[in-house]
Amino acid sequence: MNRSITRRLVVMFALGALITFTIVGAALYGVLERELTRHQNDDLNTNLQNMRYSIERFGDLEHWPRLQTKMDTLSPADGSVRFWVLSDDPRFLYGKGLDEMERVNQGEAGHGTLTLPITGRSYRTLSMRIGAFADRPPVRLIVGVDTEPFEHTLRAFLVALTLLNLAAVALVMALGWWIARIGLLPLQRLSTQARALRPKTLSQRLQVDGLPVELEDLTIAFNGALGRLEDAYQQLEAFNADVAHELRTPLANLIGGTQVALSRPRSATEFQETLQSNLEELERLRSIVNDMLFLARADQGEAATGLTAADVAHEVEMTIEFFEPLLDETGTTVAIEGELRTQATMNIALFRRALSNLLQNAIEHSTAGARLVVTISQRAGAIWIAVANPGATIAATHLPRLFDRFYRVDSSRHDHGDVHGHGLGLAIVRAVATMHGGATVATSEAGVTTIAFSIAAA
């Protein structure tokens, strides 16, 4: 119920109309009631003053029958106006049901109401005391006006008011529904467009032109989200293709090698060689799977654990020491520069892993006898470790993508069976940096490629 904006708007319109009309109606009713009361009181007063004058001036016993006749004349047959005269002297009594009148209206002069016991009719009354005159003792004159027409008018007005109110509310609801429908039309157009979005049509965007201001922000935000989604989706697609491709080569080797081995009788030695070859491929698969799991965990936002305080330069030295056999072999040298006293809080195994990937990468991409430089620097709350190697300059378009999984600058190298890596090395560097609250950056200028990662300074 509350989920529909149209319904909510209609209900709110109706409530608003109901409240407004009720207040206006109540005010009108009050005004009418006051006016009617005033009118009745005027009526009473006129009649009272009229009779009072006669009774005061001519109300002796001799003239009393004439006054009675006058009162008869002034009382219409429908009983809408009535006169009563109360007196200690029974000769001066006038009006019907006087016994009750005496009981009912013992008050002093003034306004009052009474209900006649027999007919049940209600009267608004005005009474006053009139002093003695000639042979007449003091009397009490009461004028009554039937309230029935007055109440009837009020009732009729109230009914009319209620019906009109309801009709008006219904009309407002109908109008409100129509207005809401018209007003929400752009939203409907948007949802129609949104419904048409499919994974295949992720490059489509919702139209912003002609939208009301209120929806424009939302639509732009939604389009932004679509853009990010498209990027992520495409990355995932490419990634899946890459994974499949990476796994396909070792799998093909395994299947083919095994098939060849089994296709004819062979010596144990030959089978052993097949198994050994298979084992190499399987290790390759295991290594890819393990690295992918590691990257997946980093993607899920897993932070590095097992953090310890470490001397950055020392860790760099230890990692370089690991590479010494390889460095000796290729005649490569490594220099450590920068802020050598930097301390950091890190997972040492992960740090060494990231750095060893960078060193491996640098050694692979520089010619024998090159001089690599590892620079430690500290800026803006982060500790940066940069590895620079002389080598072919990498085009700027490749640089931001170097850290993507399976990304290779030279796609022709893809299938050359690069035994020391499977295109995840720099992705792992980025994952390690992320897990330490850091980042990665790559630059390549004038024959020197520098790849760096950072970890948050403690």
Q: Select the residue interacting with another protein from 106, 192, 269, 308 (CB under 8 A).
A: 269
Choose the binding region for another protein from 80-88, 227-235, 350-358, 376-384 (rule: CB under 8 A).
350-358
Quick check: 154 binds another protein (CB under 8 A)?
no
Q: Are 437 and 384 in contact (CB under 8 A)?
A: no
Side chain identity, residue 242:
D
371 forms part of the interface with another protein (CB under 8 A): no
Residue from 140, 352, 405, 430 touching another protein (CB under 8 A): that is 352
> Which residue, 60 or 273, is less far from another protein as judged by CB?
273
Q: Which stretch binds another protein (CB under 8 A): 180-188, 200-208, 251-259, 272-280?
A: 272-280
Residue 299 interacts with another protein (CB under 8 A): yes or no:
no
Compute how many residues bind another protein; rule: CB under 8 A.
Answer: 44
Specify the stretch interacting with another protein by CB under 8 A; choose among 58-66, 76-84, 274-282, 409-417: 274-282
- The closest of 43, 28, 20, 19 to 153, measured between CA atoms, is 28
Q: Which stretch binds another protein (CB under 8 A): 232-240, 290-298, 375-383, 406-414?
A: 290-298
Is residue 50 part of the contact set for another protein (CB under 8 A)?
Answer: no
Task: Give min distance, CB of 427 to another protein, in A.
Answer: 12
What single letter denotes the amino acid at residue 344? A
Of the candidate residues 37, 345, 360, 375, the single one contacting another protein (CB under 8 A): 360
- 3-state SS, one letter per residue, for the chain: CCCCHHHHHHHHHHHHHHHHHHHHHHHHHHHHHHHHHHHHHHHHHHHHHHHHHHHHHHCCCCCHHHHHHHHHHHCCCCCCEEEEEEECCHHHCECCCHHHHHHHCCCCCEEEEEECCCCCCEEEEEEEEECCECCECCEEEEEEEECHHHHHHHHHHHHHHHHHHHHHHHHHHHHHHHHHHHHHHHHHHHHHHHHCCCHHHCCCCCCCCCCCHHHHHHHHHHHHHHHHHHHHHHHHHHHHHHHHHHHHHHHHHHHHHHHHHHCCCCCHHHHHHHHHHHHHHHHHHHHHHHHHHHHHHHHCCCCCCCCEEEEHHHHHHHHHHHHHHHHHHHCCEEEEEECCCCEEEECHHHHHHHHHHHHHHHHHCCCCCCEEEEEEEEECCEEEEEEEEECCCCCCCCHHHCCCCCCCCCHHHHHCCCCCCCCCHHHHHHHHHHHCCCCEEEEEECCEEEEEEEEECC
Smallest separation (angstroms) from another protein to the CB of 411 = 20
Considering only residues 239 through 268, tell me which ones interact with another protein, judged by CB under 8 A.
268
276 forms part of the interface with another protein (CB under 8 A): yes
| Nearest distance, CB of residue 387 and another protein, angstroms | 14
The count of C-alpha atoms lying within 13 angstroms of the C-alpha of 92, restricted to the half-sphere facing its C-beta, is: 24
Site membership for another protein, residue 419 (CB under 8 A): yes
Q: Is 413 in the site for another protein (CB under 8 A)?
A: no
From 147, 332, 357, 444, residue interacting with another protein (rule: CB under 8 A): 357
382-390 and 371-379 strand pairing: antiparallel
Q: Which is nearer to another protein, 140 or 422 (CB)?
A: 422
Candidate ranges 4-12, 231-239, 294-302, 402-410; the one touching another protein (CB under 8 A) = 294-302
- Whose Cβ is closer to another protein: residue 50's or residue 360's? 360
Q: In terms of CB distance, is 223 or 360 closer to another protein?
A: 360
- Is the Cβ of residue 31 or residue 293 nearer to another protein in the bound state? 293
Nearer to another protein, 58 or 322 (CB): 322
Residue 275's Cβ-count burial label (10 Å; 0-12, 13-18, 19+) is middle
Residues 310-349 that bind another protein (CB under 8 A): 318-319, 321-326, 328-329, 349
- Choosing from 34, 174, 420, 458, the residue that interacts with another protein (CB under 8 A) is 420
Whole-number minimum distance, CB 289 to another protein, in Å? 7
Give least dist CB 278 to another protein, A.
8
CB of 441 to another protein, least distance (A): 22
Assigned token pair, 230: 């498209």
Residues in contact with another protein by CB under 8 A are 268-269, 272-273, 275-280, 282-283, 286-287, 289-291, 293-294, 297, 302, 305, 318-319, 321-326, 328-329, 349-350, 352-353, 356-357, 360, 419-422, 425
